Structure 1
């Protein structure tokens, strides 16, 4: 039995279907770093049933699916097929070749196949365990595996030996059978307990059943009594219903008689209303006639008054002359006609000018709309830039406000220190005065020693307070210095231009790959070591040649776009940076290890 071929589709870095064919004997796979040698071993372990994502150098099982690149989209599944030559019947299956396929999808679903037939993971593990290839994977010896086996406990070494000898599968089957027996024994004990409990509950249940039967009998008697009462109630209600029906018929007759009388009264009322309407019409006609006669009388009176006034004027005024001259009226009419024609011509010209002005206005409005849109876009861009500057300026103002607040606190602390120093001087002066009095007065003076001790204690407290205030002043000064440094850094960031970002946006295709931090892939646990090795070069841009770096520097100078760090990838052939190793100060395993630079990339 030997490994005949391995086919990978969408597994890690193998996006395209790739088939590796092997011959009996030893096959060595060589290649540079990052070419996928470890992915071949991971694929072999994965297809044979490996369930640990960490063993496959991933965080979760979906990480084995091709994640995509800048030029190729990610895939939706990964598939690996291993073909084993079974000419010696080492595997308990009647085939000279055995193909095992494992497939995983983005949603986490997995499929297993043996020679194209769907199966379970357990079937694959059982098939391989019969040939000594178990779940412990002792047939795949990775880096540090031998040291782990040699330094392991005797129990762990026994597990490796048993699996290699084919004993472990029987032990696993025995343990599985024992677990089933234990579960069956537990179920049997539980069944026995349930039987005992049920038997214990049978007598109370019998008594409860007798009580239930008696309750059913009582309920039947009660139901019959209720039915009889309901029948009697129905008879009584039917009699009451008949009485009510008779009373309702009498009421209906009375209602019909009242309706007839109401109809007669309604007819009489309608007749009276018609008569009233006719009388109202006659009254309205008479009133209108009176109004007309009154108006006529007023007009006659007004006519008489006017005739009297005219008669009086005819007696007093001379006779009037004749009307206007007809020739003058005709000349005036011709002049009006000429003016009308002139006005019509001016109106037509004004209309044409109005149409032209309207067309020009529409064109100007369209131009204005385009200009307004362009202006709006420029205003938005300017607003975005100003908003960013405003945020930074706000941070600076906040820091300045904090500095001013701390300055005020320092001033207050200084005042308190001065006050404390004044009190200390006063206390010292008082102490000296008291000490002088002590020297002058008798030592046996009552209360003098106690007063001296109080003064000494007050002086000591004043000194301690002065020391505390001085320490607080020093701390405030340190905080002020720190905040001023942050203000300076923010001011520099406001003034300094980001040359790295400018090159990434405008010269990404001119021999520049991007920042070193974005290009380097770090194995989990080595982030601190890589950060220590790279240092400030982590934010630098990678260039494929010295000419590309010079072109980038020239572009920065011409555009006045600021400063940027550039790392070259063209290293001399005799000094390969991919082979240079640097000590790792924080190895997660506790043993000596090294941190390797990215292949083909060196800083100058």
Structure 2
């Protein structure tokens, strides 16, 4: 038993020693574990920082790449624009770009514009004080505005017409032809106006004389047809004989009215006959044709008219269409149209003077 107890004590002592050593080992392992965890955390933090820096640098690289690409595109566009401008300068002006810059570059003063010179000349003509315009220093903004205005004016002019000279020559020839025609027309117009003036003067002379003669004869004839009455011709516009009309005033005996519209049918007819006879007497004609002018007259007025017709036939021949017997009695010859029973018309003639001579014999 003692031996067993000793062995158990030895085992116990060895177990305690082992436990102590295990505890020490566990403590050391825990410390190593904590140190490793701290180191790992520290390394992880450093790795995260490096990754963030890498991402930031990658983003910056992307931005720089985009900027560089845009710059390259802009540079290419600018180079293309320069080449286009150089080509346009050569085509439009026939001058190289370097020569154009040397002669008109921004290092040179800007010449005075034609508008400024014209304004200065206008001021001098008006007597206003005006300093002579001088060349100014180059100002890009000002020159850009002038260029834009010039381009606008050029655009309003339109495209250059290569056939403009030929068209101008043709239009100039056409203009000279039309100008010559216009001068001919003006000369013709002057000649026509002269002729019209002469014709107007002649018309005025002839009408004035004819009116005076007809007015005089009308008063005499009217008194003959209307004993005790009064008739005359009146001009509507005495101051302008060329446009004046002629009114007939008739006052039969025993009446105060003068307007033709207020006369009876017979009086109107007799007044018209008086007007015709007055014209016949003022301007005689070799013959006259009268168609039933006495149809509306009574026997007394018919006798008076026959007396006037008898006076007229002393110098002219009268052809009268009538159904009045008194008129037929004073005729030299009668012509009648009759229709027999067979429906055939026949012309019958009879010389009244020869008939009268036969009766007298």
* TM-score normalised by length of structure 2: 0.22
Structure number with the bigger relative contact order (C-alpha 8 A, sep ≥ 6) is 2
Q: Which structure has the greater CA radius of gyration?
A: 2
